[in-house]
A and B are shown apart, each in its own frame.
Chain A
Amino acid sequence: MKNKFLFSILITFCFTNLSNCERDDICLEGTPGTPNLIIRFYDAENINNLKPLRLFIKEMDDDNTDLNSYLIRFLIPGDSVSVPLSSTKDYTEYKLFNNWGTNISDPQIDTLRINHSRNDTYLNRACGFIGQYIFSENPIEGISSDKSWIKSYKIVKDSILNEESKHLILYH
């Protein structure tokens, strides 16, 4: 009889260990995360045509205007780019360099400011929260002045819910 006691206790121990080993801490592959902003570049003169460029993007450091303090982010030869938006602020700023490498003495730089708000949705333990961005009323700042190489913009989608297609068009 005592052996049976010990046995049932032993089994309960195994039980406890088993439930400790069972972990659901891995976010399943293919779970869509917080979407990036997808920008495509179109020709300002002929607005239906894509216009590829050699684009170099640097992240703005809030307090510092020194060029060296920018973090090197992307160098994209092409007509589209996907950039993450800020997690902690209601805006995201990027420095956009046009024709990088071809005209170093006279760089064309625009500071693009994207204003947005965000809703975070809880998914599960492993994945945590994902965010969905919504463009604010005045979504884009820092372009279409006389000096800027980006002439205008067009919001294709009001909210950034997924990465299936472009959200923003920049004309240059």
Chain B
Amino acid sequence: MKKANILYYIISIVYFSNINLLFGQTSNDSLSIAKEKAPITLRFGIDLFLPVTSQFDDNLNGFEVVGDLRIKENIYLSTEFGSLERTQQSELINFTSSGSYVKLGADLNMYKNWTGMNNQVYLGIRLANSFYKHNINNYVLYRTTRVLEEEAISNGYSTGEIPKLNAQWIEFIAGMKVQILKNTYLGFSIRLNRLLSNIDSENFGILYIPGFNRVTDDNIFGSSFNYTLTYSIPFRWKKSK
């Protein structure tokens, strides 16, 4: 585990030093070209991965809506919100997590488009909040000596609902959006999540947070991804003409 932490640390340094390099270079390049003011663009869509996997996986049910608003040449305000219910077997415990989440933040486009193109290779950051609950469906007691096959406990004892859980985290995102049709984009992003705070239950650990994904016992990092299909509506404010 310690080794993984060190790796996280090293990679984060490499990751962020790259961003600095990129910032440095874009500012140099922008001197040479005088640009037309970009239109404000509203773009919204859905995550494709969740609805598709929900079809094949009985234990998963969810959706995510995404949207962004272009406010500067290469800066976008972005949001995702979604709802998720997932049942999983974790070693000795079978539990269902369900809840909804919202993520707010910004993306910085690093891709230099030709005139008329609007593709994105971006880095982003989000603050996220999830309200959720767990339900312990059944579990097997941990025993060091097992003589017979253990019976799963499916009612009473520690089974049942653990309501009113809440978690906040920050996401670092790398992703891309490619125009596939007029005003229609296909996107992919991978996300590194770092848990900021959460409401813990004494009777159960935090094994999974909708929106955050799997939580490990001894560190606060997680990861997730999404595939998006979005449609954009470009418009100009009257006064900006």
Contact = CB atoms under 8 A, between A and B. Distances in A.
Interface in B183-217: 190, 192, 202-205, 207, 216-217
Contacts of B144: 31-33
Nearest to B4: A22
Nearest to B224: A16
Contacts of A8: 15, 18-19, 22, 123, 174
A125 B89 CA distance: 11
Chain A interface mostly: mixed
Contacts of A82: 145
B142 A27 contact: yes
A155 to B, nearest CB: 22
Contact of B91 (A15, A22, A25): A25
B158 A129 contact: yes
A9 B124 CA distance: 12
B153 to A, nearest CB: 6
A36 interface: yes
Contacts, number: 132
B147 interface: yes
Q: What size tier do the contact residues of chain B reach? A: 35 or more
Interface residues of A, number: 45
Given A8-B18, A11-B11, A130-B141, A122 B158 contact: yes
Contacts of B7: 18
A33 B150 CA distance: 13
Contacts of A59: 148
Interface in A1-18: 1, 4-5, 7-9, 11-16, 18
Contact of A19 (B123, B203, B223): B223
Interface of B: 1, 4, 7-8, 11, 14-15, 18-19, 21-22, 25, 90-93, 110-111, 121, 123, 139-145, 147-148, 150-151, 153, 157-158, 174, 176, 190, 192, 202-205, 207, 216-218, 221-223, 225
